[in-house]
């Protein structure tokens, strides 16, 4: 039996199973057929595609690798395995394979795009752009290449060029969810809030948010008054804190609110929102009989943040903490009366593309402690003992760490520690949102291609107390640190 032996109607049936996401059926049928013809490149590729549809990436890769053993130069297999390696975040193998594939087929737009994608995801943005451009030379209407070129320019901080490529992608495919979402984020970045937050709703059709929409028979809330509304969490804990500033707007026109959020936020949310609202964990079941409408928390912005003035109506510092806990922590820190307490945070565990570019070395922040008379306190979650010890040894700068306080799980405790601070210096992570929501003066260090939520001005419109200090060059924090150093000298003298 060879690939040509498979009757066309059987092949069409298999392809339809995969198109209809009936991948388990497809895997079963293909496995039986491969028992008869184990060296069928076509069947092995279909098996890999079906497994990839089930997110069984290891099995998908095994099928594609088996196909390559039979035919090492098969372009379809090279493409499929490259995509799978990228899906698995197996970037070393993806880079190796795509380099080989592009050498064999320099004019295959798919392979050039995969090479660009692997390079971009591994942080080699400029090199990746060369391959996105190569894909467009072969196939000028390659939507993914257009969109990824836009994302690459965004990461470089060239937001205008990014916009042009997103628009070009949409001119080819006006329904492309990724391009719509990326352009929407740019609209918000530029202060076009109504247009941007309308487009932001397209996130539910994008790859990043696939299968994240809450399954409910109740309708999505569009602002109907005097109803019971379920507001449910999405994305990370920082997003929940940021969008929680809109909860009071929703409460004003609703009969009752049920907020489904990260369980770590329930104590501080309960303390901060005085109106009648029920806070429940995202892990808890909520009966549909308990609410009339539902809405993801990020979609509140479309209803209530359609202009800059709508942000300015929010009181500064919408979260509060236990004052007794703050006093206890200040006693533990025991900073001299003439030494301002400065909280520092330097890394994120976010897994979105390019998020690692937000991180900075603790030593770079600790240098500030050598220049001004301040008490540095760590706000960084995770085990940072080695970093803190290394900084004290190499720089002679002590960064205090509060023993027994879990900065990852005890958000109320973290908030109290932040409230102890006269200033916070942080990269873009949960501490930026929490400090802003507590109205603590904050210097937020941003990479060139920073998140859309921070806009383009020097002050955050989400949080009055947060000053935005941006890189002037990719991967170079020197200008940011100089600006922070100048500000610290001004505020501590």
**∠ CA(75), CA(77), CA(78), 5° rounding?**
65
**For residue 493, what pLDDT is reported?**
53
- Residue range 323-491 forms a domain whose CATH class is alpha beta
Q: Do 216 and 184 contact (CB within 8 A), yes or no? A: no
**For residue 12, what pLDDT is reported?**
82
**For residue 307, what pLDDT is reported?**
95
- The closest alpha carbon to 319, from 464, 440, 438, belongs to 438
Q: What's the length of the chain?
A: 493
Token pair for 112: 């050039």
pLDDT along the chain (493 residues), means of 10: 54 84 88 89 93 93 95 95 94 95 96 96 94 97 97 96 97 96 97 97 89 89 97 95 96 96 96 90 94 97 96 88 93 87 92 86 87 88 93 92 93 96 96 97 96 95 95 91 84 58
**For residue 492, what pLDDT is reported?**
59
The CATH number of domain 3-205, selected from 1.25.40.10, 3.40.50.700, 1.20.1250.20, 1.10.4010.10: 1.25.40.10
Radius of gyration of the chain (CA): 26
**For residue 75, what pLDDT is reported?**
95
Q: Locate the domains of the chain by residue range.
A: 3-205, 228-312, 323-491
Distance between CA atoms of residues 118 and 125, nearest Å: 10
**For residue 252, what pLDDT is reported?**
94
Q: Which residues pair with 399 in a beta bridge?
A: 376
The three-class DSSP label of residue 489 is: helix
Sheet holding 293-296, edge to edge: 277-281, 256-261, 228-232, 293-296
Which tens digit of pLDDT belongs to each residue from 424-462?
Answer: 999 999 999 999 999 999 999 999 999 999 999 999 999
Which tens digit of pLDDT belongs to each residue from 283-335?
Answer: 999 999 999 999 999 999 999 999 999 998 788 899 999 999 999 999 999 88
């Amino acid at each position: 039996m060879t690939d040509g032996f498979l009757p066309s109607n059987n092949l069409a049936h298999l392809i339809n199973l995969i198109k209809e996401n009936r991948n388990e059926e497809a895997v079963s049928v293909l496995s039986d057929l491969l028992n008869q013809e184990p060296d069928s490149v076509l069947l092995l590729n279909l098996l890999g595609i079906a497994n990839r549809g089930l997110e069984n990436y290891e099995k998908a890769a095994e099928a594609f690798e088996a196909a390559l053993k039979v035919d090492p130069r098969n372009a379809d297999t090279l493409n499929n395995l490259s995509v799978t390696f990228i899906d698995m975040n197996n970037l070393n193998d993806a880079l190796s394979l795509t380099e080989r594939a592009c050498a064999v087929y320099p004019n295959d737009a798919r392979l050039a795009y995969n090479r660009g994608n692997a390079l971009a995801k591994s942080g080699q943005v400029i090199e990746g752009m060369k391959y996105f451009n190569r894909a467009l030379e072969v196939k000028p209407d390659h939507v993914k290449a257009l969109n990824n070129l836009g994302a690459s320019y965004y990461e470089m901080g060239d937001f205008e060029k990014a916009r042009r490529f997103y628009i070009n992608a949409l001119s080819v495919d006006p329904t492309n969810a990724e391009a719509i979402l990326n352009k929407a984020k740019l609209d918000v970045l530029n202060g076009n809030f109504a247009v941007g937050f309308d487009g932001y709703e397209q996130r539910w059709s994008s790859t990043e948010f696939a299968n994240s929409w809450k399954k409910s028979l109740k309708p999505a809330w569009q602002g109907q008054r005097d109803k019971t509304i379920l507001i449910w969490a999405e994305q990370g804990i920082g997003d929940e804190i940021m969008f929680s500033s809109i909860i009071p707007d929703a409460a004003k026109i609703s009969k009752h609110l049920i907020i489904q959020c990260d369980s770590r936020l329930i104590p501080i949310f309960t303390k901060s929102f005085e109106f009648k609202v029920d806070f429940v964990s995202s892990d808890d079941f909520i009966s549909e009989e308990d609410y009339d409408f539902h809405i993801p928390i990020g979609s509140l912005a479309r209803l209530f943040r359609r202009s800059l003035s709508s942000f300015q109506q929010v009181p500064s510092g919408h979260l509060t903490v236990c004052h007794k806990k703050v006093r206890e922590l200040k006693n533990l820190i025991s900073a001299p009366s003439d030494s301002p307490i400065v909280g520092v945070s330097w890394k994120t565990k976010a897994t979105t593309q390019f998020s690692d570019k937000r991180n900075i070395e603790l030593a770079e922040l600790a240098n500030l402690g050598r220049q001004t008379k301040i008490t540095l306190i760590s706000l960084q979650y995770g085990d940072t003992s080695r970093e803190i010890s290394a900084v004290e040894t190499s720089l002679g700068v002590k960064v205090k760490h509060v023993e027994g306080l879990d900065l990852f799980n005890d958000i109320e405790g973290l908030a109290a520690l932040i409230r102890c601070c006269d200033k916070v210096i942080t990269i873009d992570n949960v501490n930026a949102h929490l400090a802003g929501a507590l109205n603590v003066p904050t210097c937020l260090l941003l990479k060139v291609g920073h998140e859309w939520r921070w806009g383009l001005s020097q002050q955050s419109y989400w949080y009055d107390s947060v000053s935005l200090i941006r890189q002037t060059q990719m991967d170079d924090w020197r200008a940011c640190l100089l600006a922070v150093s100048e500000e610290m000298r001004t505020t501590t003298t």
